């Protein structure tokens, strides 16, 4: 009976052809490359968010040190220690600028971070915090 059925439909194929399988694999590969690209972008942005959190914590630490110092400027040795920590954690292009005037401390931290969406892959970022003393 099975032979009769196959003879009744001689043009009908049984199973997938090699072209169909190759096209399916190609579509799957393109989809997986897209997922991998999104995963890479996500990891880079997570790293940048971690650096921004560190910068915020450093700025708060500097403000607390100034408050503990009675609102006066920090000693050069303390600022050097902070700059050494910034260089270690944020990279060689990081800087800190501290200005104290009229009971307000302005703390500005600059660093470079990777930006995969920009034309230049490394961009300079600045975080400024003003703290009332």
Predicted TM-score (pTM) of the model is 0.73
In a domain, 22, yes or no: no
Q: Judging by DSSP bridges, how do beta strands 95-101 and 122-132 pair with one another?
A: unpaired
In a domain, 62, yes or no: yes
In a domain, 26, yes or no: no
**Structural domains counted in the chain:** 1
In a domain, 28, yes or no: no
In a domain, 102, yes or no: yes
Determine contact, residues 54/120, Cβ cutoff 8 Å: no
Dihedral sign from CA coordinates of 43, 47, 48, 50: positive
- Residues 6 or more apart whose CB falls under 8 angstroms from that of 67 comprise 131, 133
In a domain, 44, yes or no: no
Supply the DSSP string of 18-77, one letter for each residue.
HHHHHHHHHHHHHHHHHHHHHHHHHHHHHHHHHHHHHHHHHHHHHHHHHHHTTTPPPPHH
Domain coverage including residue 102: 52-132
Q: Taking 90 as the threshold, does the pLDDT of residue 117 lie above it?
A: no
The tens digit of pLDDT for each residue in 48-94 reads 999 999 999 999 999 999 999 999 999 999 999 999 999 999 989 99
For residue 6 the two structure tokens come to 């196959």
- Residues 6 or more apart whose CB falls under 8 angstroms from that of 12 comprise none
In a domain, 60, yes or no: yes
| Cα 12 off chain centre by | 54
Higher pLDDT among residues 120 and 89, named by residue:
89
Among 125, 84, 132, CA closest to 108? 125
Q: Taking 70 as the threshold, does the pLDDT of residue 5 lie above it?
A: no
Per-residue model confidence (pLDDT) at position 17: 86
Per-residue model confidence (pLDDT) at position 115: 76
In a domain, 108, yes or no: yes
């Amino acid at each position: 009976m099975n032979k009769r059925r196959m003879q009744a439909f001689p043009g009908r194929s049984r199973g997938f052809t090699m072209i169909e399988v190759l096209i399916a694999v190609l579509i799957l590969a393109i989809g997986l490359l897209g997922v991998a690209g999104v995963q890479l972008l996500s990891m880079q942005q997570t790293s940048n968010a971690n650096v921004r959190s560190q910068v915020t914590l450093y700025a708060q630490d500097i403000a607390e040190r100034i408050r503990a110092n009675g609102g006066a400027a920090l000693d050069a040795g303390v600022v050097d220690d902070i700059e050494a920590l910034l260089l270690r954690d944020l990279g060689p292009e990081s800087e800190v600028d501290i200005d104290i005037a009229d009971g307000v401390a302005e703390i500005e931290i600059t660093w470079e971070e990777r930006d995969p969406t920009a034309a230049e892959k490394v961009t300079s970022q600045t975080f400024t915090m003003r703290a009332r003393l």
